[in-house]
Structure 1
Amino acid sequence: MADTQLDQFLEEATITAEDPSDPTLGRDSLYGLYTSWCLLHQSAPQPESAFWAVMKTKGIHPGRTRLRMRGPAAADYILASYPNLV
């Protein structure tokens, strides 16, 4: 996965939580957000193992991401995760 794709995903679909006590994205949610972002950009998501390998090079580790979701990919992910909301 190209770093530019991951950088674009992080820029468009995430924001860093300012308060350490704020809830943040866990492993499954961050990868799910990524797959939603890929769907909206009409690109095939990378396997989860490749995704996390690149995320770790950026200092983002499962379980302590300090990231929150935002933007169109967040809406898509939430609606896909909770279909009864529609």
Structure 2
Amino acid sequence: MADSQYDQFLQEATTQEPESDHALGRDCLYGLYTSWCFLNQATPQPEDAFWAAMKEKQIHPKRTGLRMKGPAAADYILASYPALV
């Protein structure tokens, strides 16, 4: 069975750090997801569908325990902070 878009996103763009004080918050995780979709030429799902899927994966919006990694992280950071370019 193929991984879902969300599974691929989590595998390619995040890393688990449950004890980190710098885990991604709600807005950042969804923003990272939209960057990942853009880079992979995938259509991002609406935020409510995204969070429903994250809930199934036991990822809570206030305590994700996730950090960003990979090309989507760079894209998200540059898109969020255009003064860095």
TM-score, normalized by length of structure 2? Answer: 0.94
Determine the structure 2 residue equivalent to 1:84: 83
Counterpart contact for 1:31–1:48, Cα < 8 Å: yes
Determine the structure 1 residue equivalent to 2:67: 68
The runs of 5 or more residues in structure 2 that have no matched partner are none
Determine the structure 2 residue equivalent to 1:12: 12
In structure 1, C-alpha distance between the alignment counterparts of 2:78 and 2:63, rounded to whole Å? 24
> What code does the residue aligned with 2:46 have?
P
The runs of 5 or more residues in structure 1 that have no matched partner are none
Q: SS of 1:68's equivalent?
A: strand
In structure 1, C-alpha distance between the alignment counterparts of 2:11 and 2:67, rounded to whole Å? 11
CA RMSD of aligned residues (A): 1.4
Offset of residue 22 of structure 1: 3.2
In structure 2, C-alpha distance between the alignment counterparts of 1:30 and 1:3, rounded to whole Å? 19
Counterpart contact for 1:13–1:72, Cα < 8 Å: yes
The share of aligned pairs that are identical, in percent, is 73
